[in-house]
Chains A and B, each alone.
Chain A
Amino acid sequence: MGFSGTGDVPGDNHHADRFIPVSLDWGEQDVAAAVETSLSITEAGGELRVGIAGPLTVEAAARLDRQFRQAVKASPRQVVIDAAEVTALDSAGAWVLRRTSEAFSGRGIDVRLDGLQSEFEALLEKAFIPDPDVPTDEDRPNPLIVITARAGKAMFDMAHVGRDLFGFFGLTIVSLLALLTGRTKLRFVALVSQLEYVGLNAVGIVALLCFLVGVVLAYMGSLQLERFGAAILTVNLVGVSVLREIGVLLTAIIVAGRSGSAFTAQIGTMKVNQEVDALETLGLSPVDVLVIPRLIALFIALPILVFIGDIAGLAGGAMISVLTLDLTIQQFLTQLRGAVDFWDFGTGMLKAPVFAYVIAVVGCHQGLKVSGSAESVGFRTTKAVVESIFIVIVLDALFAVFFAEIGI
């Protein structure tokens, strides 16, 4: 034997002599794994000797990995891997042995593996990776290219989302027309249950939030307007902004977060469980069964919720006016009647069904796009909320311009 396992390895060539004892504390019960593993690399007369003693398992492989990688950088004439004192071998150890030996043989250097116990040979045979050119985590491409590619991909994705959504929008129109012409039947029970969920159950939160926003608006407005001695105009501020914008926008955002996300999660979970596929094999259209009742329910519920939100917002404004501006309710109402006309209320209410349609279509569309995994449901739900709020706000801006142009 050229060297002893844990003994000192003499070496006149100081940089070729590396001796690394490794102690293991993995699995005390395993006597074989409790002894030290040592690696010695010596070079003499063009022959590199790699001696391994002790158990060559994942623990040892992990600790000695760097030394093994360092060792293969040498270019000797001949390599001898002395594995006679390897007492245990697992697949990690076998891989390191094989990788080391192939790194030399791949460069045309003669490699000899000495003394490996025959019981380990089957494992060594198994330890290989067929295609070492598979890109590793380390091979990251140029970050600039990655960013550019990502931006480009995002643009394409956005265009695809737009196209898909438009297509789905068309599909719901076709389904609605089929419903109107009596070719399909309205699922009344589903509609009522959705109405309860998206309408009735949302009344409390919508009313409360709109009331609070009305309070804040009136309070902040009165503080500013008082400086001009125009505190009474607080009523105009609250009236116009709540009826035209705040009521409908706030309600739509609450409903998108509350019901649009629920649509995606419900339909998406059905998709994961293949319930949607089952519907189709029964000859039922998922759009008719799942989407249309939700769409109609929201179409009915959102305008009602907006109306409730409007009232609550005005009530909040009225409360602050009474408390801080010393107005009576009567005076508040008179001022309000002078400040707003029908179209301030009308424009808000006109927007509600449009927003309802957008929220329902986006929510259901994302739900039907769920694929395979549980992770996908979460991802699509987030996407549905973000997308529907985004579209609602963009549409709201377009409406504002449109109404200003036609003068109402």
Chain B
Amino acid sequence: MAAMTDESFSGDVASQPAIRLRGIRNAFGTQVVHDQLDLDVRRGEVLGVVGGSGTGKSVLLRTIIGLQIPAAGEIELLGERIEAGRGEMPTRKLQGRFGMMFQDGALFSSLTVAQNIMAPMRERGGIPKLLMRELALLKINMVGLPPNAADKFPSQLSGGMRKRASLARALALDPQVVFLDEPTAGLDPIGASNFDMLIRDLQSSLNLTVVMVTHDLDSLVAICDRIAVLLDKQVTVGTMQELVANPHPWIQEYFHGPRARAAFETPGLKG
């Protein structure tokens, strides 16, 4: 191991949060979405982000990955500090350690699935062509797509397959943190639960930190270690048990509504 001179590394790297947000403020015109928002995402956890419509779930994800510049606050990504409130952006290099899966896949429609997965590798440079192709096929297999999907165009795939392809692209460079925007939206219950298992499986084998926006209570129960609830322009984070006990009326309604009860009653899961 190399000598560690920087003081910030003298502690256990693994115990540092992967993402630390402090005092984030996002506003569109006069409408304030986030104010004084603090959030820690621990390494190796699956964090679910929930909240009503318009509470800024997607805005939060976009803020973390640098697509949205907050009005104030600072962000620490994998130990690197970004004065986001002063317009600082994560470096390209840092962005390369993140993977993002967009809600509708956002696959490049003029490229095949394999080419889509190879796109970030090409951008990165220095990887031999044949190895890129092999890695693309590897990722295709990892996300559970058939090998013949490699040379198909996104328009030739079903919605569920597109989501898997999009996940494969997010994983192309073995990122440390993966952001998923509504990964199971629009999937049938079987497809959704398979996708949940896939995320869990990849998370443990690739040692990923996962931040996912979801409205799927089954996903929350099945794979999330902790849940961040966006409320009153801030987040409340806790495990499922902690949140169920939280007296806030919105949280009570969310976790005690008829759908929530159905999700908790699934055999083998304890509420």
Contact = CB atoms under 8 A, between A and B. Distances in A.
Interface of A: 26-27, 29-32, 34-35, 57-59, 61-63, 65-66, 87, 90-92, 95-96, 99, 122-123, 125-131, 134-138, 371-376
Contacts of B137: 129, 134
Contacts of A128: 138, 141
A371 B153 CA distance: 13
Nearest to A134: B147
B110 A375 contact: yes
Contacts of A131: 147
A96 B155 CA distance: 31
Given A29-B78, A29-B80, A373 B154 contact: yes
Given A136-B130, A373-B154, A127 B138 contact: yes
B209 to A, nearest CB: 14
B135 to A, nearest CB: 5
Given A26-B93, A91-B142, A123-B205, A63 B126 contact: yes
B79 A29 contact: yes
B211 to A, nearest CB: 19
B197 interface: no
The 6 closest A-B pairs by CB, nearest first: A372-B155, A90-B174, A62-B127, A373-B109, A131-B147, A122-B205
A135 B157 CA distance: 19
B134 interface: yes
Given A27-B93, A92-B135, A134-B137, 10 more contacts: A26-B93, A29-B78, A35-B1, A57-B174, A62-B126, A66-B128, A91-B174, A95-B135, A134-B151, A136-B130
Contacts of A99: 134
Contacts of A375: 109-110
A127 B174 CA distance: 12
Interface in B123-141: 124, 126-131, 133-135, 137-139, 141
B130 A138 contact: yes
Contacts of B174: 57-58, 90-92
A391 to B, nearest CB: 28
Contact of A31 (B2, B121, B131, B135): B2
Given A29-B80, A31-B2, A91 B129 contact: no
18 contacts: A26-B93, A29-B80, A31-B1, A31-B2, A31-B9, A35-B1, A63-B126, A65-B127, A92-B174, A95-B135, A126-B205, A128-B138, A129-B138, A130-B147, A138-B129, A138-B130, A372-B109, A373-B154
Contact of B206 (A27, A66, A90, A374): A90
A189 B13 CA distance: 68
B231 to A, nearest CB: 32
Contacts of A29: 78-80
Contacts of B173: 58
Contact of A91 (B1, B110, B135): B135
Given A31-B1, A123-B205, A123-B206, A61 B131 contact: yes
A54 B247 CA distance: 50
Given A122-B205, A136-B133, A91 B97 contact: no
B150 interface: yes
Contacts of B13: 31
Interface in B160-182: 171, 173-174
Interface in B77-93: 78-80, 93
Contacts of A95: 134-135, 138
A252 B236 CA distance: 65
A134 B148 contact: yes
Contact of B141 (A35, A123, A130): A130
B4 interface: yes
Contacts of B126: 59, 62-63
Given A62-B128, A91-B174, A126 B134 contact: no
B128 A27 contact: no
B127 A58 contact: yes
B129 A137 contact: yes
A137 B133 CA distance: 8
Nearest to B115: A137
B23 to A, nearest CB: 22
A341 to B, nearest CB: 54
B83 to A, nearest CB: 17
A158 B199 CA distance: 46
B181 to A, nearest CB: 20
Nearest to A373: B109
A92 B133 CA distance: 11
B36 interface: no
Nearest to A378: B110
Contact of A134 (B79, B109, B150): B150
Contacts of A138: 129-130, 133
Interface in B55-106: 78-80, 93, 96-97
Nearest to A62: B127
Given A58-B174, A95-B138, A134-B137, A27 B154 contact: no
A130 to B, nearest CB: 6
Contacts of B138: 91-92, 95, 127-129
B4 A31 contact: yes
Nearest to B4: A31
Contacts of B206: 90-91, 123, 126
B147 to A, nearest CB: 4
A136 to B, nearest CB: 5
B147 A129 contact: yes
A92 B109 CA distance: 25
A71 to B, nearest CB: 14
B266 interface: no
A311 to B, nearest CB: 45
A138 B124 CA distance: 21
